[in-house]
Each structure stands twice: as C-alpha cells, then as structure tokens.
Amino acid sequence: MKAEGAALVTGAGRGLGRAIALELARRSFTVHAGVRDPRHGEALLAAARGEGLRLHAERLDVTVPDTIAIPANLRVLVNNAGVDKAYLPVEHAPLALWREMFETNLFGLIEVVRRAVPRLREMGGGVVCNITSSSYLAAVPFYAAYRASKAAVGALGESLRAELLPFGIRVLEVMPGPIDTDMLAASDRLPEAAAHAGYEASAEKLLAGRRGVAAMTTSPEVAARAIADAILDDASPLRVACDPLGSGLLEAWRTSSDEVLMRAMLGLKQSQEG
C-alpha cells in the first residue's frame, strides 16, 4: 500500500506501540497515537517534534468507548494496546483476572475495530494490524489468561481478513517474541504460581527460561521497522513476526506438531512420557 493518510495506533504511550507510532510517522503517515497517560503523550510528542514528524498524541483507553476517536482519513489501524497480569495456574486464577485481560486485549480491540472498519471502507481500503504474541503458539504454563486473550484476537483476525478483503482492507497479525520493553522487564520475577503447592518447581523453571530469553530480546525500534514493512507490503501473509525468536517460533508452529512444540517449550525430551 502507499504510505498516505492517517494511522491510528492504540497503546502508543510506551514500548512497542510508541516505536510503531514513530516509525509510521517516519513512513509519511499522519499518526494518531492513542495513550492512556498524558505524560507519555507529552514525551511522544516531544520525540516526534524532534524529528519533524506528523504525530498527534490523543487520550485513548480501549476499555472506555468515549475515548475512542477514529481519524477521518484513516488508512492504517494498529491494535497494540494490551495488558499482562499475574502468572497463575488456571485453577488459582480468579475470573476477575481473566475478565480484566480480555476487556483490554480482546473486547477493547473489537470496539476499536467496529468503529474503524466503516472509515477504512469509506477510504477505499487499508490495513488492520493486530499485535498479538508468539507465546500463544506453544505451551507456556501460567500464561493461560494472557495467551487465551491473544489467541482469541488471532481467531478474530482470521474471520476479519475473510470479511474485509472484498473491501480492500487487509488484516495482519504480528506475533512478537521478546521485545525489550518495560512490560517484558516487569515479567522478570518469580511467577505468582510459586505460591501454590505443587507448582513451585514449574514456576522456578519458567523464570529461568524467561531470563535466558531476555538475553535475546529485540529492540522496539527494530521490531517497529519490521511491522511497518509488513503493513506496507500488500503481499504479506496473515501472520508475521517482527523479531528473530518470534520468527523461529512461528516457523516451528507452521511445521511442527503440537506435541513437539509443547515438549520444546517445557524442555522435555521427545522420549519422555507426558
């Protein structure tokens, strides 16, 4: 697609969303960056002014419909807003935690999409880019609520792609691996699952695995460039990655069995009994 018109990026106050907003502005879009914290918006505006970019920072909380405003000349929607909470076994994760994550990661995203699609159709087409997570491609203990919310967005994207192609609207799912953001840094802790009998060893193992992966993170800026490339590429597939580890996991998911992936993620040998 041609880089013109407006791009709306949710969750643009920090991390990957901030980097995507700036990168799309560098690619000649007029970017409307949705932020929840005005302080993040001010910092983002300062960065954009320093580069002479066309960027507007606007309050947007996907769980508060009154804050959702769709630009008149929208061509690109990037659904990046998301939350990650306590890492608990399913039996100990309260429904309130599930609802909080789904409210932002799925239902808030749906509300933005519902409002954006008519505008994209009026503009003759465009791109809806959903940022999910490569973590839902293989078994990760204690991430059930987060992974389920992201997998739901993946299924939504499949239907959306089929529905919107006739209108020239391309749906794209980006599945990042570990990106060097404050969200990733906040996960560098013993999972809350360790407080529950029988789960201590698995929690320790998960923390060790996360710390090993942390040494192989990708910067938000590098990931954002890959995401912008995919947005502009009319031939991009539905699902793409934006970093080496995410790419490897996506390729393994496409070519390996569920059992092989699960054992690999859990560090089990193929001959072990599950």
Which residues are catalytic, by number?
A: 146
- Of 51, 47, 26, nearest to 35 by C-alpha is 47
Q: Are 173 and 154 in contact (CB under 8 A)?
A: yes
Render the burial of 214-234: b for 16+ CB within 10 Å, e for the rest: eeebbebebbbbbbbebbbee
Backbone angles phi, psi at 225, to 5 degrees: -65, -40
Cα 237 from Cα 234, distance rounded (Å)? 9
Q: 6: which strand partners?
A: 30, 74
Kind and range of the H or E run holding 35: strand 30-35
Q: What counts of helices (H) and strands (E) characterise the chain?
A: 10, 7
β-strand pairing of 169-174 with 74-79? unpaired
Cβ-based burial of 51 (10 A; exposed 0-12, middle 13-18, buried ≥19): exposed
Cβ-based burial of 94 (10 A; exposed 0-12, middle 13-18, buried ≥19): exposed
Tell me the two tokens of residue 196: 């529950």
- Of 259, 252, 247, nearest to 139 by C-alpha is 259
